[in-house]
Amino acid sequence: MQLNLPPFEPELSRIDDKTKIKCLVRKKWLVLTPEEWVRQHFLNYLFTQQQVSRNRTAVEFGLEYNGLKKRIDILVFDTNGNPNIMVECKAPHIVLNAQVIRQIATYNSKFMVPELCVTNGMKHFWFGLQNGVYQQLKKH
């Protein structure tokens, strides 16, 4: 599926009768789902267009919230090891609505990351922390 992101040719393979995609960060084969397609394309965008370091990028970063185990799709750390960018990826058919924004805000309540992004590969909404309040940014 064509996304609203820079062209990218991920490594794909058929393994155990399933199409798999090789993760740009974890270097392992994952089942190709619509959300994983978006996540790998967005990682490529971060690495090639935003000059984010692969070495400072975590994928499916685990956290606990209200006793439940959750995973942040993409978490980028600055050179001091502090979380700097948090990204929530959804499948292209998922509408980016208030519920999706609440999800990333909930995850972020533990970190207060300077930049947040929600994406479905077609639309990307960026938010930046300015004077203690998140404002929508014009980016990509």
Q: What is the pLDDT of residues 9-64, one digit of tens each?
A: 999 999 999 999 999 999 999 999 999 999 999 999 999 999 999 999 999 999 88
Neighbours of 118 (CB within 10 A): 23
Check if the beta carbon of residue 116 is closer than 8 Å to that of residue 108: yes
Residue 135 lies in a domain: no
Q: What is the pLDDT of residue 129?
A: 87
Angstrom distance (rounded) from CA 64 to CA 48? 31
Residue 11 lies in a domain: no
CATH of the domain at 115: 3.90.320.10
Domains contained in the chain, number: 1
Residue 8 lies in a domain: no
Angstrom distance (rounded) from CA 139 to CA 49? 11
Angstrom distance (rounded) from CA 40 to CA 59? 10
Q: What is the pLDDT of residues 91-120, one digit of tens each?
A: 999 999 999 999 999 999 888 999 999 999
Residue 24 lies in a domain: no
Residue 100 lies in a domain: yes
Helix (H, G, I), strand (E, B) or coil at 98: helix
Burial class, 101, CB count within 10 angstroms (exposed 0-12 / middle 13-18 / buried 19+): middle
Interior CA angle at 46 toward 11 and 111, to 5°? 120
Domain of residue 101: give its range: 34-130
pLDDT tier, 140 (very low <50, low <70, confident <90, very high otherwise): low
Residue 23 lies in a domain: no
Residue 105 lies in a domain: yes
Residue 106 lies in a domain: yes
